[in-house]
Structure 1
């Protein structure tokens, strides 16, 4: 079976589920999620907008709104995504929505807004690795290496990816002024391709550190 045929079968199965039970918002959400993975953003948007009009209960409306926000986010339409996410009232979905809002602002380099929403998301789920990693990213972008270190270390308690380790290594390099550290070594072991593609950042940081030494 070809990959395209598999994708078509998955979509067909989910459409059948909707036909069999059109009163379940989760069925529309599941289909939209698959369409987003297949980068069929227009179809996913149309589906969720139409489906949202079929429901009156707040949980279903919020679920479909969250799905629509994800469609816009994955399309790179961060402002539109945040408009959707900010209308969500369901307590469980709001936690995830706050993280998505923070990620949207981070993607637009609006780091102070990303920090505010990320902090709210973290208060709701203080041990979440993805939220702690984002807060590390935000603080690194703001130039606050000690605070970034705190969040990255919290994320590393429950997560171990090349990207996270690399960024923790950047913080370590910034704080110690040393070019090598265990975090870079671990990142390289996990994903050498990612590490090599990210090395330009190390050159740029090393240059900045050298310039700062000359200024002293």
Structure 2
């Protein structure tokens, strides 16, 4: 196993000091290889040392022009700091340079969602969902983008798919409940709000939804 792979293994196990040691050693032995700087930058993003991380990504980019993973790392850096417009630009550059993975489409979609642009986010989240059909978070985020784009029937189907992957997904149950409210089926909405609360008793949105639906059913107009 080479130094980068050893560092990634340590990083995955949250063994930060050991990961730092391996990435440092790789950089010392291969100072012109941008991959070492990219992985060190990713590690620094992971531990929220954003200014240092940016220096490592910039160093990597000074060593090569076609480095989609460096732009992906920069995108994550800006996303973590809430700078979603800048994150969008970096993720788009990563895709432009050939990075064709579910994670980059997920992050690009979520960056646009955080800028309240669900219809722009939709194709990226759809692409991510197609590339990784078993990833629950990706499938749920795609459902949210459909809901925020006011595509209620499609959102309902997507949240049902999330439930098939994980029937204890409280947020999916809550959002199915919301789609039933749009369909003017409050009894079915209440069922899913109750399911969300059974899974997660402190689910505030489901609690509020349950209360409002019960008031509606107790006092029909």
TM-score higher than 0.5: yes
Which residue is 2:51 aligned to? 42
Listed as ranges, the matches of 1:140-155 within 5 Å are 140-155=147-162
* Unpaired stretches in structure 1, ≥5 consecutive residues: 1-8
2: CA distance, partners of 1:206 / 1:32 = 48
**Cα RMSD over matched residues?**
3.1
Which residue is 1:184 aligned to? 193
Say which of 155, 162, 169 aligns to 2:170.
Answer: 162
* Residue 70 (1) aligns with residue 76 (2): yes
Aligned residues of 1:128 and 1:155 also touching (Cα < 8 A)? no
Displacement of 1:119 in angstroms is: 2.5
Q: Deviations over 1:152-172 (max 9, x none)?
A: 122223244322232223223
Listed as ranges, the matches of 1:1-216 within 5 Å are 10-22=15-27, 23=30, 27-55=36-64, 58=66, 61-88=67-94, 89-93=97-101, 95-159=102-166, 160-175=168-183, 176-178=185-187, 179-181=189-191, 183-193=192-202, 195=203, 197-199=204-206, 202=209
Figure out how many residues of one structure are paired with residues of the other and give that number: 196
Aligned residues of 2:68 and 2:99 also touching (Cα < 8 A)? no
Q: Deviations over 1:162-205 (max 9, x none)?
A: 22232223223433123511x32332233222x1x224762797
Cα distance change, pair 205–113 in 1 and its aligned pair in 2 (3 A): farther
Aligned residues of 2:34 and 2:59 also touching (Cα < 8 A)? no
2: CA distance, partners of 1:112 / 1:185 = 30
TM-score, normalization by structure 1: 0.74
TM-score, normalization by structure 2: 0.72
Displacement of 1:131 in angstroms is: 2.9
* Unpaired stretches in structure 2, ≥5 consecutive residues: 1-13
Aligned residues of 1:17 and 1:27 also touching (Cα < 8 A)? no
Q: Deviations over 1:108-144 (max 9, x none)?
A: 1111101132223334445543332122112222333
2: CA distance, partners of 1:41 / 1:189 = 39
Displacement of 1:81 in angstroms is: 0.8
